[in-house]
A and B are shown apart, each in its own frame.
Chain A
Amino acid sequence: MQIILFHLMPYADLDLEAGRKNGTVWVRLPNRHFDPEKGHRLYNRYLDELEHAERLGFDAVSVNEHHQTAYGLMPSPIVTASALARRTQRVRIAILGSALPLREHPLMVAEEHAMIDVISGGRLISGFVRGIGAEYHTFGVNPTFSHERFHEAHDLIVRAWTEPGPFPFQGKHYNVQYVNLWPRPYQKPHPPIWIPSQGSKETIDWASHPDRRYTYLQTFSPARVVQRYLKLYRDTCSGYGYEAQDSQLGWAVPVYVANTDEEARREAKPHFEAFRNVFVKMPLEMLLPPGYTSRESLKNVMKAKAQMFGDVTIDQAVELGLFVCGSGKTVLKAFEGYWNDMRFGNLLVLCQFGTLPAELTRKNMEFFAREVMPRLKPL
């Protein structure tokens, strides 16, 4: 199993009461709540944490893209991944992912990813996403064209990485007379492509297709939902006539490890609950603008609204498998159990979440690396 340290880089100094009162920290939380001096300290602390992951033996570190929110301070994961490319030597660097439909021109994404791949000597893992619903509100990009922009941008990027240039690209959203990438990516034929998702049949059908076989990551979902979608991915591969490798499956989940179960819950509680009940929270209309998902999926979410949009305590989250928390022994046992059920070849652990401060984040990372990671890697 590959173990990846995943970071969201939240604005951990957020005035939580302001976030709660606003109903969400996305789109409309006034940016006067962001203090650049605190931001300076946070960015450098978070980059230090990601760099420390290399010393602790993680296989990869991962960054992602979110816009105009206290949930994550990485509108450009390219910036953080670039910094990591120079400050690390061995770990892979995963961008999970670039939000293709939000970008004005996919060739810029192809170029930036290729640069990081070349600078890092082939350590890049590329991830592509559509961006979350809220970002269609912030950017004004039409969500009803999100899927087709995503697919066309993807096609252009992969062709730019793999086909000898110059060549013309004729699409509906993007038209380029001369596709001729300088630099070409370091890895052959191109960096691995991973697809993070909250769970969607359309995404699974597309990612698992024999032409692509992209690694599918289920992000921040209850364990039984993760299991359902990873099984759907395997079944879809069988339907295509091939057997999925474990390396095609991944799970991204927040984790907290301490000396004892009691200590872990006590230390993580306020920070996890801030993450789940303040940083993640947004109204349905913001999360799922029209066309972002199929109307069937939208109706299913509306039915589950109370459960999805209500507050969750740490105990409920652990029970649901939304959060893995406890002593090293407990966390190891939980992951071994989940692995037996799901056989994911990639585990992305979020060791900093919500307001979790620097010293607890370090402690968590070190406990996880010492007591859990070595026993999971051979799986």
Chain B
Amino acid sequence: MKFTDGFIEVDGCRTHLRRGGSGQPLLYLHGASGAPAIMPFMEQLAARFDVLVPEHPGYGLSDEPEWLENIHDAAYFYLDFLKRLNLQKAVLVGSSMGGWMALEMAVRDTSRIKSLVLVGPAGISAPGVQPADIFLMPPEEVIRSLFDDPRLAEQRLAEPATPESLDIALKNRHTTARLAWEPRLHDPFLPKWLHRIDVPVKIIWGAEDRILPVAFTKEFSRLMPKAEIHIIAGCGHLPQLEKPDAFCEIVCR
């Protein structure tokens, strides 16, 4: 499946966007480590959907707009993004930080959203459950904690670093801190408004997630009782990379 690769401007932010496939629009919202390449799960989804893979403002090749100061700014940006591309009935698939963005969008306005698929989403706190301290861990340890299968982490670590990839890693890390340092990876005011989400929600979680432990699902099901919860065994924080078939099957189901 061929993905186009270009830029669009939304809210004054030159935004890197890859797009491929056809069908209903599916907006993939990446997590803290960005979306540097088209991955197999995106290709699989493109057989069914018109898949849009932007890099968030402040990440990858996209601009770093001055107005981006918190997660709400990112949510308003993506609501404008849906409008700018005139996307209707979009499926939002958000991983980790991207799942948090999808929630923040959907409590504000679901008029262009058909459903949400949240993959190990950040966004809420849960009593007694602590996310990994991704800012204090050395980058290699963060990567090792992303996957249940150590071979996947070793593959990722073996990818050669270039000056450009280092710049992007530091840029992504900066924006993640800006949006999620404090309160750490959540918005304490979000739970009050989750009832406004009036579209179907699926939550997918790796049973062995060492970044955001699977115990978060308990709090999500309390806050969003209608959400479908899918826990994938033998899988870490990124089911879309670690178990792409099971992941795509749940998205398409």
Contacts and interface: CB of A to CB of B under 8 A. Distances in A.
Interface of A: 27, 136-137, 140-145, 283-286, 289-291, 295, 298-299
A90 B183 CA distance: 46
A137 B133 CA distance: 10
Contact of B181 (A142, A283, A285, A299): A142
Contacts of A283: 138
B176 A290 contact: yes
Interface string B153-184: 00000000000001100110110111001111
Contact of B178 (A137, A140, A142): A142
B178 A144 contact: yes
A291 B174 contact: yes
A223 B26 CA distance: 58
A298 B184 CA distance: 22
A290 B136 contact: no
A89 B8 CA distance: 67
A289 B137 contact: no
A145 B181 CA distance: 10
Contacts of A290: 135, 170, 173-174, 176-178, 181
A146 to B, nearest CB: 10
Nearest to B180: A142
Contacts of A137: 133, 135-136
Secondary structure dominating the interface of A? helix
B182 A142 contact: yes
Given A144-B181, A284-B138, A290-B174, 11 more contacts: A142-B178, A142-B181, A285-B136, A285-B137, A285-B138, A289-B135, A290-B135, A291-B177, A291-B178, A295-B170, A298-B170
Given A27-B136, A283-B138, A285-B138, A140 B170 contact: no
Contacts of A143: 177, 181
A140 B174 contact: no
Contacts of A145: 178
A8 to B, nearest CB: 23
